[in-house]
Amino acid sequence: MRIALDTNILVYAEGVNGPIRARTTAELIGRLARSNTFLPVQVLGELFGVLVRKSGLSATEARIVVQRWQKTFPIIETSSEVLDSAMEVAVTHRIGIWDAVILAAAASAECRLLLSEDLQDGFTWRGVTVANPFAAKKQELLAAVLRT
What's the predicted TM-score (pTM) here? 0.94
pLDDT of 5 reads 98
- What does DSSP say about strands 75-76 and 128-131: parallel, antiparallel, or unpaired? unpaired
User: What domains does the chain contain, in order, with CATH numbers?
Assistant: 3-147 (3.40.50.1010)
pLDDT of 17 reads 85
Name the stretches of the chain with pLDDT < 50.
Answer: none
Element at 140 (helix H, strand E): helix 140-147
Q: What span, in angstroms and rounded, lies between the C-alpha atoms of 114 and 70?
A: 17
pLDDT of 88 reads 97
- Kindly list the distances between the CA atom of residue 73 and the CA atoms of 32, 41, 61, 67, 70, in Å, as whole numbers in the listed order: 10, 11, 19, 11, 6
Residue from 103, 106, 112, 107 nearest 1 by CA: 112
pLDDT of 18 reads 86
